[in-house]
A and B are shown apart, each in its own frame.
Chain A
């Protein structure tokens, strides 16, 4: 039965579908009506059923209801065909007017009284149809909490006190099938009052849609309604007062307090206490005025900045050809540093003005100028606009100071070794020169012919001719020995005197001394006539000097011990060391030309001793490192000191212990100095191979300074192993000079 029932149901549903399709757009409205009818019928019938048989309680909701529904549907449809038709037509009309409104259609009419439009509904005719009470009401349980009846088969009670049964509710499968088969099921909602699904009306759906869209749920609501002016506009003014209170004074009298406050501000403005807002900083423009109209202060203006140099021809865009740099000049310019460049641009020639490009250093150079202006210290220098020649001291011309040696007249050559020393005979006719191989040559000044040669076998350090005019002999200093020679070809008278001096027949009594005097009278022609043996380890005797009378001879040895200075007296054949103790190594000694004074030059100082009183007179401080040579002016009041540091000091003995003049002109150490005995000349020789001749005039009055005039530089010696001209000597009565060089040459310089 159930299965056939089900099959029936399906068939019926198909039919229903077909019917519904046929029903079309009016389905919803028709459904409402139909449902209400059905329910009423159901109610009735169920009521009947309930009254008739109690089975319903037990089986309230199964197919019976559906069956009855279907049956009733069929029956209803067939029975109430007329009613339906009628209702349909009525509904059609109403739906056509407004598909949402169930009420009869309203009309908008302009009211005769107010003049406004108003809605007028049609009159309800009090006939049968108008009474809705006859329609079967679906459910009149009222607004009660429905959960009271949750467990009960009924819903509540109707007006007659009868139970209203719960409508049949299909199982889940039915509900599912309903949702599948009924296309409108998604628009239905459960109604609590009736306890069944009810389709939602179009109005309700519209409300839901509006709520979903966040709109106002009322479709009628117009948010942009035109405003209606009720009280404004012409003719709408309210003329009646709202209050009957009298008008206050403040409505028409100006306020006293306000006036007082304003007057306070006005007064402040008048008095200038309040100033209007100033023009803003941005708007303010520099105003210029006659700033220099009032007289300037008498303060001196600050020194103006030096102006840059004006451009010269080479900066022209089209300079003469000769200004253009050559390729190597350009390269050199590019390679030098920016600061070292002599000028900051490179001359360039452009054939036309339109081809001249922008100068890329323009801003940089402007900037540098500004840096100069505020960063560079400025010094005001007096520009020396003098002829440089005017700076030179005014000295007499050398030509007016002739004679002085000018040129090399002859040269005598020592082939073997460098010539250390030379000496010229007092009559100025002979020169004896000794070299380092131990050869002493005696030659004639005038022609340079060698007349005699002695070979001593060891280095000759010094040679000195005895200044005596009645005798003629010379002394040569070698290692630890002094040899006395008599030159050949001298007059017999002179020879005898000489021999009597050097090798007297009766020897003076020997004295206590460590020095031996050995006479070898036999071999006077070939060897030394007299030899003095200095103490051993005294080394090479570097210098010999005679007292002017020719009796005393002083010798300096190269050893730095105390016994380096010896004083020899020929007449007594006696030697003695004048100094017990000397500070420093003795470089040179000299006899004063007129007084019994003795000069001793150590490496740094020159000391002057009085030999008669045996005391130190003076210490001269030349400030030279180290003293190499020294000579005394023939007057005895001036000495010159030369040093290895190229300096030459002129001392005035009357004046000071400091030099009167220090001059430096040689490029190497000074080796030798010599004053001319008669002419106002002196010369210096140096390791640079040159000889400098000076004119040195000493005045007898004390107020006039000595006059020193450089006269001539003599060049002609070669520098060998760092040594140049080792010794120079003036020829006695002539303005001639003889020089001995390290190159083995002895030269004679004549005027």
Chain B
């Protein structure tokens, strides 16, 4: 006989640990535990059997993997947190006694934890990190736009703003932006970095206040991690693109509100460039191809380009000069770009003062265009409003009446478009007609470039498509009918007409107005009423049969359901419920559209 099994010695009872016991085991406060969980990315688990994991109790508790907690016990950050606790006691005592110099000394030697090892641990490879920066980008963009308050220090906000600018510069430099979506929540951007789609949401530029039911400490802890993560990710991205990280800030331009323009992208000096030296070398053939593509690209660019493109070119020239040392497969892979990343390259834009510069400067420069803006939107505009090369003016206000002669002249030479045009062009990957988006016009709907989920209602498939499908169906039926129906004596195209009319009428089955419209159309096509009536009846009968078949089939399925096991039946019913609901939603949207149009 084997050893007796004891309860609570193996299995779920040992695998899981409740939160309170985890806190007790780590001997830290709940706040510290939360901080650790956030930093280390530890989250609760759902045991398969709660009762087995919690000594027979089914009270609602959150469980963690006991191993996760065991690893946490050896975390250096935990030690630092303990040191910090001691430090807080010491400094409060020093302050209470009025020992200022001691307090200052303590403050100078305050324990500070670093998160490098956690970043390395959570993201063993760079791709893992890139895959997970969505939330980080959202957060730094949010905090960059927040006003400072006692809990959110100005230094933090400044750092977030710097990180956002670095990210935007990188995206602009590598032309990796793919999709943009103007939503009611903010602007969604999607970039493709290292073959990973990175999506982030930027709020519109308005002052935001942190609501009272939001725990800022949680957000700040996340932000701490995100800042470190983004720092390392940006370092790697910049270094791989042979740029200096961090990009030096031009304080003068920053003062004048130049935004991203205040940073200089500077190529790494190859003599000193450490990280490039250990990357594998490429064959000279590839190098030559690359150079060719680079030169071709740079020649297509407009002559007076801004600094980003300038850097591109200098890079390529230098590379050409020193072929042997030319590095980085990565830069090679990033160089051949799809043509759609350059769609705005031939154009020069002027941004009117009511459009957000931060959005459109980023968009247009990401797609190769040049953009200028009035002084009221900040300094650093590369050209003024009366520049001859301006082709488009992005304007968001209704057209004014009185135009001076100069303005009329400008209107003749430039295209005045609303901001949505830029975004729609980017999403479509080609230049759209400007007429629909002209100043003061009612805009066409702005659709999500990310698409709907599969099988959802698609607003782009309008009534036209419905008609198409109907006609196709008719054709199929026609071929069937031609064998058995002997009273079809008329011309085939006329017959087709009648059929389509009838089909339309039937499609609108119980709608008398549609029937009437179809009748009128039939009359216009020269079909006499009798034939039309016959057709309609036939169609209706066919449809009814079809419906019957569907009903019968449905009944059959339902009966087969009898023999399913309970689990399978429930799953089946859930799926059917979802299907039905989705279908109902689609139907609702379609009906609404029909009513609206």
Measured CB to CB, the residues of A under 8 A from B are 278, 280-282, 284, 286, 288-293, 296-297, 299, 301-302, 304-305, 307-308, 310-313, 315-323, 345, 347-348, 350-354, 356-359, 361-367, 369-371, 373-379, 384, 388-389, 391-393, 395, 397-398, 661, 663-665, 708, 710-713
Contact = CB atoms under 8 A, between A and B. Distances in A.
B41 interface: yes
A389 B557 CA distance: 8
Contacts of B181: 311, 315-316
A366 B142 contact: yes
B293 interface: no
A290 B110 contact: no
A391 B572 contact: yes
Given A366-B142, A384-B571, A375 B235 contact: no
B592 A296 contact: no
Nearest to A712: B559
7 contacts: A318-B420, A345-B184, A354-B397, A359-B186, A370-B135, A370-B218, A375-B62
Top 3 nearest A-B pairs (CB, nearest first) are A358-B206, A296-B124, A710-B559
Contacts of A319: 445-447
Contact of B184 (A278, A296, A359): A359
Contacts of B246: 288
Contact of B199 (A289, A310, A356): A310
Given A373-B43, A665-B562, A359 B203 contact: yes
A663 B450 contact: no
B509 interface: no
B563 A288 contact: no
Contacts of A398: 556, 559
B108 A282 contact: yes
B497 interface: no
A292 B185 contact: no
Contact of A357 (B107, B134, B206, B561): B206
B386 interface: no
Interface of B: 34, 37-38, 41-46, 62-63, 107-112, 114, 116, 119-120, 122-126, 128-129, 131-132, 134-135, 138-139, 142, 181-186, 188, 199, 203-204, 206-208, 210-211, 213-215, 218-219, 222, 227-228, 231-232, 234-236, 239, 245-246, 275, 278, 354-356, 396-397, 418-420, 442-443, 445-448, 450-453, 456-457, 459, 555-557, 559-564, 568, 571-572, 575-576, 579, 589-590, 592-593, 596
Contacts of B119: 291
B417 to A, nearest CB: 12
Contacts of A282: 107-108, 110
Contacts of A663: 562-563
Nearest to B63: A377
B447 A290 contact: no
Contact of A315 (B185, B210, B559, B568): B185
Given A351-B443, A374-B34, A393-B560, A363 B418 contact: no
Contacts of B203: 358-359, 362
Contact of A351 (B135, B442, B555): B442
B44 A377 contact: yes
B435 to A, nearest CB: 17
Given A302-B122, A377-B62, A397-B556, A322 B561 contact: no
Given A288-B245, A354-B396, A377-B46, A301 B139 contact: no
Contact of B204 (A359, A379, A712): A359
- Which of B132, B185, B239, B457 is most buried by chain A, counting CB atoms within 10 A of its CB? B185
Given A281-B112, A374-B37, A316 B182 contact: yes
Nearest to B132: A304
Nearest to B240: A290
A546 to B, nearest CB: 32
B135 A369 contact: yes
Contacts of A661: 563
A363 B142 contact: yes
Counting chain A CB atoms within 10 Å of each CB, the highest count among B108, B354, B579 belongs to: B108
B131 A304 contact: yes
B215 A713 contact: no
Contacts of B215: 367
A313 B448 contact: yes
Contacts of A364: 211, 213-214
**Residue of B124, B278, B589 with most chain A CB atoms under a 10 A cut-off:** B124
A347 B418 CA distance: 21
A365 to B, nearest CB: 8
B184 A316 contact: yes
A712 B560 CA distance: 11
A397 B563 CA distance: 14
Contacts of A352: 396-397, 418, 443
A564 B138 CA distance: 80
Nearest to A281: B110
A193 to B, nearest CB: 62
Contact of A391 (B63, B134, B443, B571): B571
Given A359-B203, A376-B44, 5 more contacts: A318-B182, A323-B589, A352-B443, A377-B44, A388-B572
Contact of B44 (A362, A375, A710): A375
Nearest to A378: B43
A352 B139 CA distance: 27
A322 B592 contact: yes
Contact of A317 (B125, B183, B593): B183
Given A282-B108, A310-B448, A301 B396 contact: no
A255 B205 CA distance: 71
B596 A376 contact: no
A742 to B, nearest CB: 24
Contacts of A664: 562
A321 B231 contact: no
Given A292-B126, A321-B593, A313 B447 contact: yes
Contacts of A290: 235-236, 239, 275
Contact of A291 (B120, B445, B564): B120
Contact of A370 (B63, B210, B219, B419): B219
Contacts of B110: 281-282
A307 B562 contact: no
Contacts of A363: 142, 208, 210-211, 214
A489 B463 CA distance: 71
Given A367-B218, A370-B218, A392-B572, A345 B185 contact: yes
A475 B515 CA distance: 64
A343 to B, nearest CB: 11
A353 B560 CA distance: 54
B134 A320 contact: no
Nearest to B462: A320
B593 A367 contact: no
Contacts of A293: 275, 278
Contacts of A712: 559
A320 B448 CA distance: 11
A421 to B, nearest CB: 27
Contact of B445 (A289, A318, A345, A377): A318
A92 B278 CA distance: 111
A316 B183 contact: yes
Contacts of A362: 142, 185-186, 203, 208
Contacts of A350: 184
A395 B563 contact: yes
Nearest to A314: B448
B450 A312 contact: yes
Contact of B443 (A318, A366, A379): A318
Contact of B138 (A292, A356, A366): A366
A304 B563 CA distance: 40
B70 to A, nearest CB: 15
Given A318-B443, A367-B215, A281 B183 contact: no
Contacts of A307: 134, 199
B443 A315 contact: no
B459 A320 contact: yes
Contacts of A297: 124
A713 B446 contact: no
